[in-house]
Chains A and B, each alone.
Chain A
Amino acid sequence: MIAARSHRRPDFNAAFGGTVVAMLLFAALFGPGLVHYDPLALDLMARLQGPSATHLLGADEFGRDLLSRVVHGARVSVTISVLTVCLAMAIGIVLGTVAGYAGGWIDRLAMLLNDSLLAFPGLLLALGIMAVFGASVGAIIIALGLAYVPAVVRVMRASVMSLREREFVEASRVIGNREITTMLRHVLPNCIAPLTVLATTMFGWVILSETALSFLGLGVPPPAPSWGNMLAAARPHIVQAPYLIIVPGLCVSLTLLGINMLGDALRDWLDPKMQAS
């Protein structure tokens, strides 16, 4: 029974996670072209109206179409999270690999920097950076990206350090490969599994953090919609128009669930041992 389950789960994860992520990407890429309303167009007559034939998901406190805002918000949220994860990964992988592989004082220096970054709560660090750069999409990406670097460095360094001692890495050195070849060909590819898990988890954290920043008024500046600032703006109207919170909230939750399941499936799929023998 357990054997059967362990065979079925990755497929279900892949199917569900894949569908959610595909829908998300579709909404982010093409959604804005498909919705009727301008997400910024005010219509005071429709103010706080519930779902209806004209406004499928209802309208917010300025009478802006909720469906249109959610779809445009998806584009903003996806852009921010993809770029943030890329930024954190790029810096973190390089730093973590160098620290783990070189060891000695390079490692100690890199870890000192990393630990001092890690000493600040991620959101606080992002807040500080936002305070300096001002609120804009670019600033959010840089702020959150930097805030998530330490996690990547930690994971990367630990993987590299354990791989460094493995015999196949030594074997690569013995056949005469340069260190950089050894690293690129034998060490990095074997770090993919923990990195995929981390990247997908982080994707979720970033969406949440962006939501939190927007909620605090430091996120995507209004009137441009993001899921975070929509949640923040809906808060005073929670009793009269609960759907204003429910819709973007559901979007965030569903996205996180889908991405994490896709991550699990990816990790299994990337494990060479999962291939049929």
Chain B
Amino acid sequence: MSNQEQPLPVLDVRNLSVEIGRTGRKVVDDLSFAIPSGEMLAVVGESGSGKTMAARSILRLLPVPLHVAPASRIFFDGDDLASASDKHMRKVRGGKIGMVFQEPMVSLNPSMTIGRQMAEAQRIHLGLGRAEIRDRSLAMLERIRIQNPEKCLAAYPHEFSGGMRQRIMLASVMLTRPRLLIADEPTTALDTLVQRDVLDLMAELTSENGTAVLLISHDLGMVSHYVKNVVVMHSGRAVETGPARNVLVSPQHSYTRRLVDALPKRTEGGARDTSADAEPLLELRDVVVDYPGRGGFFMRAEPKRVVKGVSLTINRGETLALVGGSGSGKTTLGRAIIGLVRPASGSIRYLGRELLNESAAAMRDLRKDVQIIFQDPYSSLDPRQRIGSIVGEPLLLDKEMTPPARRARVEEVFLDVGLDPDFMRRLPHQLSGGQRQRVAIARAIVRNPAFVVADEPVSALDMTVQKQILHLIRKLQAKHGFACLFVSHDLGAVEQVADRVAVMDNGNIVEIGNRDDVFDNPRNAYTKRLLDAAMLLDRKFAGAA
């Protein structure tokens, strides 16, 4: 396409600004980009960078106090959408411009069958009849390799996994053959393998159709496999624009450099060999965990086996990463160790003590040794509690401790995790995601535990913040010497913190070994697939970065 007369781009955004009310404050400031037909462009940025608002302003879906500034121009196939009538916008939305949202759990209506949801846009925008809609829906479901499409049409969203739902969402959007697809973090809620799957499908469907794609993402590494050009946004402004490869390999702006830096790389000489220790800290043997089944309306619930006989040991001071896709049972295993779910059988020994036989009181006593950091710092902190009190709460259980000693300890831990002690009087919602996760970490380590389960501790955070938190965990471990079970689906994060890696699939551990062995010479097929999905970045740009 190197003709002299460039075809008109499908979307041409010029000087887009989005303002808050009449304050003149801008969340998007003078953003310009263009996407030709059949091409993909990514807008990359962290939370609060304005990337989502920029995308929403194209469809005029801004939340109330926000509005597009008068000087902005949004040309879609030559029409300026910034000055189009509402009626025109309704025709454009869903018909000529399709949108896929981040959360497939909530963007499909739970009380409508897949078939009806797929039919809706076709009826409104294409004006097709019932039989035709049905045929096209079936063909599309077949196209995206859904088994048994007939049954799928009559099924409800909750019967599908997150990845499946996102594929269905994508399929139903593509059914109207839009000129432009806006995908707002379409895979952020999914695990690595499924992410690849959904994005591959998106690339396939859109290139067939000549649909232009605007991909919104926080993950520079991931999008660079798919798009030609990227726009990097930081606090409302485009700080860098250009071909994905250039931005990734030789970032110009300091912020882009930080973003590229935060992409996972192996910590050199990081893996410690701790296997020489005499007695393991924690020893699991044949641990089986069942969940009460969710049988159908008239069926008796069959218990669902989530962890199917797992044995492993964790030594003092080491980090064992437990890796697997969603539904692999990795989180459940972590929760079983911590005592939040009770295994159906097996044995969990902590320093030789069998935890499954302990009384509730003895278990409570053990809590000062065994702690957990939860995934989502937005829900793991009590919204009504000041953060000083959150961190100090575990200390209340130590009846010997005087209030001044408690205060001093809380202050010490605040400094340890890099929080300003002046924040103690704040409430969780007054902190950023990274700061909240620091509070959660502080709460976990305040009583000097010997073992911490970190359950996806960074997957809810921005890339640059992820890096800081991983670094913090590593630093705290070096200082305090606690062992860590690091549960994650993100091999990039695992590579940075783990000494040993255990790969879990479908309730079983399929591979376990030293980090470098597992990453460099994976023996199990599932491990290989996981690595393939995650490591593409390094291979594509091998040598360059």
Contacts and interface: CB of A to CB of B under 8 A. Distances in A.
B381 A168 contact: yes
A160 B105 CA distance: 24
Contacts of B376: 167
Interface string B366-394: 01100110111001111111000000011
Contacts of A172: 382, 393
Given A171-B372, A176-B367, A272 B64 contact: no
B443 A272 contact: no
B327 interface: no
A176 B397 contact: yes
A174 B21 contact: no
A240 interface: no
Question: What is the interface residue range for chain A against chain B?
Answer: 20 to 34
Give the secondary structure class of B's interface.
loop
Interface residues of B, number: 31
Nearest to A274: B429
Contact of B382 (A3, A178, A186, A277): A186
A54 to B, nearest CB: 55
Interface in A244-273: 272-273
B364 interface: yes
Contact of B379 (A166, A178, A189, A277): A166
Interface in A59-111: none
A175 B380 contact: no
A190 interface: yes
Given A174-B372, A176-B397, A273-B429, A167 B364 contact: no
Contact of B443 (A166, A175, A178, A190): A175
B384 A174 contact: no
Task: Name the residue among A168, A178, A186, A275 with the largest chain B CB count within 10 angstroms.
Answer: A168
B251 to A, nearest CB: 33
Interface string A153-187: 00000000000001110111111111000000110
A167 B372 CA distance: 11
Contacts of B427: 272, 275
A177 B430 CA distance: 26
A178 B364 contact: yes
Given A3-B64, A175-B394, A277-B430, A170 B340 contact: yes
B338 interface: yes
Contacts of A275: 427
A2 interface: yes
B365 interface: yes
Interface of A: 1-3, 166-168, 170-178, 185-186, 189-190, 272-273, 275, 277
Given A168-B380, A174-B367, A176-B365, 12 more contacts: A167-B376, A170-B374, A171-B374, A172-B393, A176-B364, A176-B368, A177-B364, A177-B393, A189-B382, A189-B384, A190-B382, A272-B429
